[in-house]
Amino acid sequence: MELYNKVKKTFKTHDIREHKHQQHCPICNRYVAYSDRYPNYVCSKCESLTVDKMGLKVGFFNITLDGHGCQGKYLDSGKLYRSTKCFIKNIQCKAEEAYLGGIIIRPFKRNRNRSSALDPELLTCKQIP
Ligand SMILES: [Zn+2]
């Protein structure tokens, strides 16, 4: 059984999906470490460019030492920034607590259609007589 697992593992690297395991920063297109969970997080360089809507520099930090919560802060004044919205190069982004601690920032996506005919769950419900 152990041998079988080893062989299987070796084969996994030939899986075509493995080759897709690279991604780029959505803001500056720099190569970033692959993340299954966060396919569009911004790179650390862009993360350091976050500003509020007035153009003041903001940063985001975990609230607890073990890496939970997401608190914004004005970097110049040290005042709290009560939002997770931010802008990088005029692109609206959202900061959030990362799954394994730390902070990730991703471009903010608007809900395109509120009624969302494309929502598969909603569609399924409608099809049930
Ligand atoms: Zn970037």
User: What is the per-residue pLDDT for 17?
Assistant: 57
Residue 13 is predicted with a pLDDT of: 55
Q: Look at 30-34, 92-96, 119-123 and tell me which has the smallest mean pLDDT.
A: 119-123
Give the mean model confidence (pLDDT) for residues 68-95.
97
Phi, psi angle pair for 110, to nearest 5°: -80, 150
At residue 118, the pLDDT reads: 47
- Are 71 and 84 within 8 A, CB to CB? no
Ligand 1 mean position, distance from CA 38 (Å): 14
CA 88 / ligand 1 centre spacing (Å): 9
How remote is the CA of residue 102 from the centroid of ligand 1, in Å? Answer: 17
110 CA from centroid of ligand 1 (Å): 21
Q: Separation of 29 CA from ligand 1 center, angstroms?
A: 6
The Cα–Cα gap between 129 and 125 comes to: 9
48 CA → ligand 1 middle, Å: 9
User: Measured between alpha carbons, how far is 87 from 4 in angstroms, rounded to an integer?
Assistant: 50
| CB-facing half-sphere around the CA of 124: CA atoms within 13 A | 3
In terms of Cβ atoms closer than 10 Å to its own Cβ (0-12, 13-18, 19+), residue 2 is exposed
- Sketch the domain layout of the chain as residue ranges: 2-110
In this prediction, residue 104 has a pLDDT band, given cuts at 50, 70 and 90, of very high
Distance 104 CA to ligand 1 centre (A): 12
What is the model's pLDDT at position 105? 98
